[in-house]
Chains A and B, each alone.
Chain A
Amino acid sequence: MYDTLYNLDNKMIKYQNESLKRTQETFQAFVDAVIPRTPGLAEEYGRIQFFGALDSHTDEYIILSLNYYYIPIAEPTAEMLDVAAEHLVIMDRNNRLVNFSRFMSGSAFAAIEPSDRFRAITLLEQMNGYLEDLPVPFHDNPELVLYTTSNLNRFTMMGYYSEWSGYGSTRLATPNQRKLEFYPFSWNQIGYPGPSRGYRALRTEL
């Protein structure tokens, strides 16, 4: 279980255990698929475009957000994604299996290639009869499945393009304790200058 603890400095500590490792692997695979490293874009638009969600720890943002629910669900969500990946492969609907040993004993979701991860989620959302294989609290709750999978996309984009990764060493602290240490590199990628006191941008006063 992903337990959040606070040490004396009021910072969250992660438990280092197998279950957490798999959970993180799965979410790293998800965010890496949504916002990948892109050498092609770096060549075309500049070096800063290479970096992606893995470089800004967006997987941690997802875990934090999912564990903020009334019932913390980061770990079951990761398990659900792994089950979805297994089903995709069993039904032979995947493009290509990237890493067989990881598929068998690590995060199945991370073992399939990025586009297949989205195919797995799509298949999961169609819910063709494998709800019972899903972990609690998803196994009898199709609405919670959809609510969560749709939030994953939003959390990834919010986590990556907002200031969150700029909280740096305080990004896992409780919200009131976070301090902005730097502007996230994603802002450089998209030309966002950060918060402002105003712009001399008035064109027509009506």
Chain B
Amino acid sequence: MNNDADVIIIGAGGGGAVVAKELAEKGIKVLLIEAGPWYGNKKWPNPNSEHGAVSGSSYDDLSIDILKKSFTDLEDDMNDSMSGKFRWGPANRELSPWPRSISGRGFAWQNSGVGGSTLHYFANCPRAYPQAVDNIWPIPYEELIPYYEKVETTLPVWPAPSTAKEDLFYYGAKKAGWKRLESPNVTSPGYRPQPNAILRPNPRLNDPDFDLENNKSVGCTLRGHCVNGCNMGPTIEGVAKRSTFVSYVPRALRSGNIEVRPNTFVTKILTKDDEQEGDSQQNALKEIDNREGLHAIGVLYRDTWTGETGELRAKVVVMAAGGIETPRLWLNSQLPQNEWVGKGLVNHFFDCVAGIFDEKQLIDILGVSDIKPYVGQNAAARFDYPGLGVVEIFGLSPGLYSSMIYGTSDKGYNFLNKSKEKEPWDIEGLVVGEQLKEFMIDYPRTLSVLIFTDDEIDQKNGVTLDHELKDENGFIPVIRYEPSDKDKEKRDKLASIASEILRKAGAKTIIRSNWPPNIYIHIQSTMRMGYVTDTNCEAKQVKRLYIADNSVLYNGIGGPNPTLTTQALATRTAEKIIEKYFGPR
């Protein structure tokens, strides 16, 4: 049977798009399959209400005008968890999102669409902590460095600019005695501007004559809509936030060697086992080299608009559907048993801490009376602590902001909790009623942080299949996660550090949300290198099947945001694929 491409890649997100570009630029024919829609492309002028074309392969189809129609900057339109343009669900917003089974008070924040989670991400691009990789991963940190550099140059990655909220954080961190970090390879605790894949602001941005309304130049304008989809730029390729659909995908299209097929859900990996097939005479006639054990030959897919199913074939298949969907696909395809498929999940055991400030305090420190969470890049300053994890500031539009800080807790309603005088925070738990309204009156004077814990690998945490419940794409995933006692200790320490920084900056009220553990935003290490794949990210039990998303990470990389590490690894994996299956180029 003829191949539809040299390489099929499942998922056009953070990792898949990287492999796609790296292969396509070397002359490999790539078919990039994506379950969700493609925003900003002439062949899909109404991506949420019409099927549009089957696939696209031309750079000239990219359209910033169409993108600006889709990305409305309205947070419910873009990020409603059930019906938003950014959600884990079909492009047709009249349909339900795809279901999963999540225990407890959690939720999963996944995203379908060309760009995947990089559609809504903050574009944070820190490297792993070297101490979480060296002598732990089956490859040394040093080996990742050239790939980090390549991705940092390609996206590109810059230290984020400061607005008032960042300067307030740096002030507090300095007063708390922390040092500023200068190297991207972090070996000791300290604070630094967020390395962000966001184009630097236009240097004329503060100039009163700079026309913000009709601006067609390149560069971030500090408008705080990162999470709601950046549409700021003269062309798709010039959009400020470097989601893969504006960075890697356009470059891949320029090569002329890629076809991108959105609205296509891969439901099964197809395999063949030559050693089990054929009559012995025929096999004897073939050269020994050509007979392979179990190997991938293609995929089965389902069109999310029409329900049509079909087969696509290739020499190599790359799974990049994300930390939940990649193991789910392996299991739904009934690929060989492996006790680590889906297992070892880390999610960085997130938490949230917020500080509310008085006007006078802010004027004294910053010279302005408020810090406005919706101004500046959504997450533009961070604090790193190898051994514990990360504290990074974030600011958002108010619906998302309030639901994350005041609407998400494992501790129940704050007003029903006994007061804890010994804690460094004043409030812990859900905030409701008049108190919520009061705190939101202080929205322009609130500085909040996200905490990412360096959580441990536990084989009990992970993704399995529901025995009974199916959606149109197969048995639904069941996701379970419980932090260890050590994880809880680390997170409590990070919450204390965060509170101290906010207090030193002058916060009058500190709220610790205390997030439930089963929130899946950073979803990692469910198909771990060394356990499910070899060190080239090829599946040990299924040849020609590679993994290039967060699931292949060996661990939680010490706590930092995983995207850059996944993209660096994906760059390396593309090289390995070429070396092994496509000869020297």
Q: Which A residues have a C-beta under 8 Å from some C-beta of B? A: 33-36, 38, 40-41, 45, 49, 52, 64-65, 68-70, 114-115, 118-119, 122, 125, 143, 146-147, 149-151, 153-154, 156-164, 174-176, 178, 180, 186-187, 189-192, 195-206
Contacts and interface: CB of A to CB of B under 8 A. Distances in A.
B287 interface: no
22 contacts: A40-B434, A41-B434, A114-B433, A118-B416, A119-B416, A122-B412, A146-B103, A157-B402, A160-B399, A161-B401, A162-B76, A162-B400, A164-B76, A164-B80, A176-B94, A190-B440, A191-B443, A192-B374, A199-B375, A200-B212, A201-B206, A203-B167
Interface string B92-109: 011011010111111100
A152 to B, nearest CB: 9
Interface stretch (B221-229, B257-265, B295-303, B563-571): B221-229
B223 A197 contact: yes
A147 B105 contact: yes
B212 A198 contact: yes
Nearest to A192: B398
Contacts of B193: 206
Nearest to B519: A150
B407 A162 contact: no
Nearest to B72: A195
A153 B430 contact: yes
B96 A70 contact: yes
Nearest to A142: B103
B76 A199 contact: no
A205 B167 contact: no
B235 interface: no
B408 interface: yes
Contacts of A164: 76, 80, 399
A163 B107 CA distance: 22
B232 to A, nearest CB: 8
Name B's interface SS: loop
Pick the most buried of B74, B162, B398, B436: most chain A CB atoms within 10 A of its CB. B398
Given A151-B107, A153-B403, A198-B223, A206 B162 contact: yes
Contacts of A158: 75-76, 80-81, 399-400, 402-403, 407
A163 B416 contact: no
Interface residues of B, number: 83
Interface in B568-585: none
Contacts of B407: 153-154, 156-158
Contact of B93 (A64, A69, A154, A174): A174
Contacts of A186: 398
B565 to A, nearest CB: 23
B540 to A, nearest CB: 33
Nearest to A151: B107
B230 to A, nearest CB: 12
A102 B435 CA distance: 28
Given A202-B222, A203-B162, A36 B399 contact: no
Contacts of A174: 93-94
B376 A201 contact: yes
Interface in B455-498: 471
B130 interface: no
B82 A199 contact: no
A49 B437 contact: yes
B293 interface: no
B65 interface: no
A192 B397 contact: yes
B536 interface: no
Contacts of B72: 195
A143 B103 contact: yes
A86 to B, nearest CB: 19
B99 A204 contact: no
A180 B286 CA distance: 66
A36 B96 CA distance: 30
A164 B374 CA distance: 18
A94 B130 CA distance: 54
Nearest to B480: A143
Contacts of A201: 163-164, 206, 222, 372, 375-376
Contacts of B434: 36, 38, 40-41
A120 to B, nearest CB: 11
B81 to A, nearest CB: 8
Nearest to A166: B74
A70 B468 CA distance: 15
B234 interface: no
B443 A197 contact: no
B200 interface: yes
Contacts of A187: 398
B201 interface: yes
Given A41-B438, A118-B413, A122-B413, A33 B432 contact: yes
Given A190-B440, A206-B193, A195 B74 contact: yes
B208 interface: yes
A191 B444 contact: yes
A201 B403 CA distance: 26
B166 A203 contact: yes
Interface in B40-82: 48-49, 72-77, 80-82
Nearest to A190: B443
A191 B443 CA distance: 8
A175 B205 contact: no
A119 B99 CA distance: 29
Contacts of A191: 370, 441, 443-444
B516 interface: yes
Contacts of A115: 415, 433
Contacts of A199: 163, 221-224, 372, 375-376
Contacts of B402: 157-158, 161
A162 B402 CA distance: 10
Pick the most buried of B75, B76, B102: most chain A CB atoms within 10 A of its CB. B76
